[in-house]
């Protein structure tokens, strides 16, 4: 077989083809059989009961979500300590040049975290990062005092 014969066969496939038998008669027969064997639906369906159950589950889920949010807000401190820390932390310039680069980096990180906290004051992650940064600054100051 060569390429021309393949192309001719492909063109022949594009032609409409009638089925060998009528499909609609068998489909109709199958549908009628299904209707005859189908059980009748009782007049009191379970649909209203299901709707009430779904509504109750949805209400319980929303109450649980609200309680969880309230509990989490109660457990975490307010933004007041973070705003107090915004004013704290004066710039420290160590006399030892070995600590100067670290002091600059930590001070820049603290300032960026303070700016981020101004935009999202209730963020516990930002508050933790700011606390860690201030702790690292304190440790660096202690190292500076010990070294010189």
> Angle at the Cα of 112 (from 106 to 113), degrees rounded to 5?
90
Q: Does pTM surpass 0.85?
A: no
pLDDT the model gives residue 51: 85
pLDDT the model gives residue 16: 82
d(CA 110, CA 86): 9
Q: For the chain, how long is the longest CA-to-CA vector?
A: 101
pLDDT the model gives residue 91: 65
Query: Is the pLDDT score of 145 beyond 50?
Result: yes
Is residue 108 within 8 Å of 136, Cβ to Cβ?
Answer: no
Q: Could you report the per-residue pLDDT of 81-138, keeping only the tens digit for each?
A: 544 444 444 566 777 777 888 888 888 899 999 999 899 888 889 899 999 999 988 8
Q: Could you report the per-residue pLDDT of 33-85, keeping only the tens digit for each?
A: 888 887 665 666 677 888 888 889 888 888 888 888 888 877 765 544 544 44
Is residue 79 within 8 Å of 124, Cβ to Cβ?
Answer: no
- Of 16 and 42, the one with more pLDDT: 16
- Give the long-range contacts of residues 12-17, CB within 8 A, separation 24 or more: none
| Dihedral over alpha carbons 99, 105, 110, 115 (to 10 degrees) | 160
d(CA 90, CA 132): 16
d(CA 94, CA 148): 10
């Amino acid at each position: 077989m060569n390429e021309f014969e393949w192309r001719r066969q492909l063109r022949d496939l594009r032609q409409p083809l009638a089925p060998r038998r009528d499909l609609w008669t068998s489909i109709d027969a199958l549908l009628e059989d299904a209707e005859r064997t189908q059980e009748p639906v009782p007049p009191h369906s379970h649909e209203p009961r299901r709707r009430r159950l779904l509504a109750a589950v949805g209400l319980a889920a929303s109450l649980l979500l609200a309680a969880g949010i309230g509990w989490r807000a109660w457990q975490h401190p307010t933004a007041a300590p973070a705003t107090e820390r915004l004013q704290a932390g004066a710039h420290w310039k160590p006399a030892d040049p070995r600590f100067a680069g670290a002091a600059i980096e930590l001070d820049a990180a603290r300032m960026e975290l303070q700016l981020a906290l101004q935009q999202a004051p209730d963020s516990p992650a930002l508050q933790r990062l700011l606390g860690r940064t201030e702790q690292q600054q304190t440790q660096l100051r202690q190292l500076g005092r010990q070294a010189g």
